[in-house]
Chain A
Amino acid sequence: MSTPMLLGARAILAAGVLACLAGPWLFDANSLTVLTEFFIVVTLALMWNLLAGYADIISVGQQGFVGVGAYAFFGFTALLHMSVWAAVPLAALTTLLIAVPVMAVIFRLRTAYLAVGTWVAADVLMLIAGKLPGFGGGSGTSLPIPVVKQFGARLGDRIDMFYALSLGLALIAFLATWALLRSRIGLGLTAMRDNEEAAGSSGVDLVRTRILCFLWTAPFLGLAGVMTALEKLRVAPTASFNITDWTIDIIFIVVIGGIGSLEGPILGAILFFLLRQWLADFGAWYLILLGVISIGVILFEPKGLWGACRRWGFPDILPAGHAPGPGAPERVAGPDAQEAPAARTVG
């Protein structure tokens, strides 16, 4: 585990973040739009990873809360004529408030059942969104021009503003999740990731930690939903609650990048965007390819690319754990227990 390597990796990361912060001065409008989408995807990947990689909740219904955020934003601005700057936090709050009853019902299911339960819940939210009066029914509706113009009078200004908002969202989502993982609760989450039974018997309150994580992701997913509405300038049940864009792609990203780490989802998102540019002409084939790759990853390298990096001795660039102090017993493996047997959940 070499310090120069770590310093180099952190320097690249810092340069990347600085380049993103200076984005509007560095990139053209096209690149800014792609990056705006990239930051939305990174946010979604971080949230899916927090649930699947740490809290043992595999969500196939993440698109439900993305759609709620988009629809709430539309409701507050286009229907209630509120300022967009009030509508954005209110959309996050609405998503959180809707997540509470959803959680109360589907948390009666566990493990594999819960995964399908999240899917049912998302389907229900989508079907209800299509029934709401004023939201354009099943085919959806466009954001009114006065609402859009609040983000900037000229198109160039709006592109810069959407870029800044989605970059801000991804940064806050990342820093907040990192802080969560480094907190006392995060210590419990890391223990759950490595061995759930052992974590439970060492005093980690599994149920409360799961509830916290599930509700933690809701406002971030809702805000990502606001960004999707701004990006497309419209809301529609099939687009705002799109399972392919907001969940299936995200699962592939996290699985291939590395589940149960902070670096994995980001690495996966970068790979996904590169791959997508190359494979854009191949239609359904690129999803088939992603499916094959991710099955291969799960069978042969379950912790994904970042897991492989860890095994080769590459240190975590963004350690979610805490380095052992002086006098701590020598560790053979990387900074987390790779050899710990996977949690066996029964029933």
Chain B
Amino acid sequence: MVETILNLIVQGVLIGGLYALFALGLSLSLGVMRFVNIAHGDMIVLFSFVLLSLTGVLGWSPFLVALILLPVAFGLGWLLQRFLLQRTVGKGILPILLVTFGLSIIIQNGLLEAYGPNTRKLSGGAIELAALRLGPIDVGVYPLLVFLLAVALIAGLDAFLYRTAIGARIRAVADDPAAADLIGLTSARIYPVAMGVVGITMLVAASCMSVWTNFDPSIGPSRLLAAFEAVVLGGLGSLWGTLIGGVIIGVAQNFGSQIDASWQILAQHLVFLVALVFRPQGLFARS
């Protein structure tokens, strides 16, 4: 009994690493550009399908392909912000929500037309099956590596935002776009860079997800909701909080899944809503 519960918690924590990867980009776009990208989950799924096609053609490991694609992901994020989303800056929340909403529908249905509704999965090689015996429980090497990657990515992003010159500029525009504009830091220059970084986190999340779980063109919204809940649970503006939020979501899902598949999602949502009632600012909100 104790072993079962311990096992559920450990596996849930590890899945939480994957959710944190989904949520990092969303946390960044909320923190810097102050909008929710409704197409966030769909863009991750889009990257997964790109990896599917390229690994099929090249025959390489999806992780190698993802590594090579990192600059492309940055470029796509940059272009998206520079030429589409930037047009809605300063016009309130409605236009940007509706543009990303339209984008979400276009990506979902475009993928449906291109790849069909079947579920897919990428092969990560022998590492997928490897496991470590830690006391009474088995821990998959791959989930553990994804969790460590999430920790490393958060540490890297934290260092990027707080230790580099470009990070300081991003934070300046995030804190006060008008004042930053006065000293020559225009949102038109800074936001695309931030969105490029978001693109990189999306590609990393996509490569980890496509090896770990099945995916199909319709799963974007559920990934968006999980990412969103992780960000709000953790507290806005706190990347480490987002990791904790992802872990809470993962553990809740794991306990729910003991009953059935719909309880898996229901448990995730209910934990989020209860947390919202008692701590709307999130667990680790930065004031």
Task: Give residues in A with beta carbon < 8 Å to B.
Answer: 52, 56, 58, 60, 105-106, 108-109, 111-113, 115-117, 119-121, 123-124, 127-128, 130-131, 138, 243, 248, 251, 255, 259, 283-285, 287-288, 290-292, 294-295, 298-299, 302, 342-347
Contact B277 A124 (CB under 8 A): no
Main secondary structure, interface of A, reads helix
A106 to B36 Cα, complex, angstroms: 16
Whether the pair A299, B99 counts as a contact (CB closer than 8 A) is yes
In the complex, chain B residues whose CB is within 8 Å of the CB of A288 = 105-106, 109-110, 113
Contacts of B276 in A (CB 8 A): 105-106, 108-109, 117
Name the contact of A120 in the complex, choosing from B34, B36, B108, B272 (C-beta under 8 A).
B272
Whole-angstrom distance between the alpha carbons of A173 and B84 in the complex?
A: 36
Provide the B53-90 mask, 1 if CB < 8 A to any CB of A, else 0. Answer: 00000000000000000000000000000001001101
Instruction: Say yes or no: is B179 at the interface (Cβ < 8 Å to chain A).
Output: no
Distance of B276 from chain A, by nearest CB (Å) = 5
Which of B12-20, B138-146, B203-211, B263-271 binds A?
B263-271
- B106 pairs with A292, CB closer than 8 A: yes
Contact B36–A344 (Cβ < 8 Å):
no
Chain B contact residue count (CB 8 A cutoff): 44
- Taking the nearest CB of chain A, how far is it from the CB of B144, in angstroms? 29
Which B residues are closer than 8 A to A by beta carbons?
30, 34-36, 38, 84, 87-88, 90-99, 101-103, 105-106, 108-110, 112-113, 221, 224-225, 228-229, 232, 262, 265-266, 269-270, 272-273, 276-277, 280
CA distance A299 to B96 in the complex (A): 9
Of chain B, the residue at the smallest CB distance from A131 is B262
Closest 9 CB pairs of A and B: A284-B109, A112-B36, A291-B106, A108-B280, A291-B102, A295-B102, A291-B105, A111-B93, A127-B266
Apart from A124-B273, A291-B103, A295-B102, what 11 extra A-B contacts exist at CB < 8 Å?
A: A52-B94, A105-B276, A109-B232, A112-B34, A113-B232, A120-B273, A138-B262, A284-B113, A292-B106, A294-B98, A298-B98
How many A-B residue contacts, CB cutoff 8 Å? Answer: 124
Chain A residues near B34: list those with CB within 8 A: 112, 346-347
Whether B101 and A251, one on each chain, are in contact in the complex, defined by CB atoms closer than 8 angstroms, is yes
Interface pairs (15), CB distance under 8 Å: A56-B93, A58-B97, A113-B228, A120-B225, A127-B269, A259-B94, A284-B109, A287-B108, A288-B113, A291-B102, A292-B102, A294-B102, A298-B88, A343-B92, A345-B93
Complexed CA–CA distance, A291 and B111 (Å): 14
B35 with A112: CB separation less than 8 A: yes
B90 A344 Cβ-Cβ under 8 A = yes
Do the beta carbons of A127 and B99 come within 8 Å of each other? no
Partner of B266, one of A52, A128, A291: A128
Instruction: Let me know if B91 and A302 touch, CB within 8 A.
Output: yes
- How far is A298 from B113 in the complex, measured between Cα atoms in Å? 25
B118 → A minimal CB distance (Å): 15
Chain A residues contacting B88 (CB-CB under 8 Å) are 298-299
Closest chain-A Cβ to B30's Cβ sits at a distance in Å of 8
Are A285 and B232 in contact, with the CB atoms below 8 A? no
Could you say which of A58, A248, A283, A292 contacts B93, with CB atoms under 8 Å apart?
A: A58
Partner of A108, one of B92, B109, B277: B277
Kindly provide the distance from the CB of B272 to the nearest chain A CB, expressed in whole angstroms. Answer: 7
Q: Judge whether B36 and A113 touch: CB under 8 Å.
A: yes
What's the Cα separation between A128 and B84 when bound, in Å?
38
CA A286 – CA B120 in complex, angstroms? 25
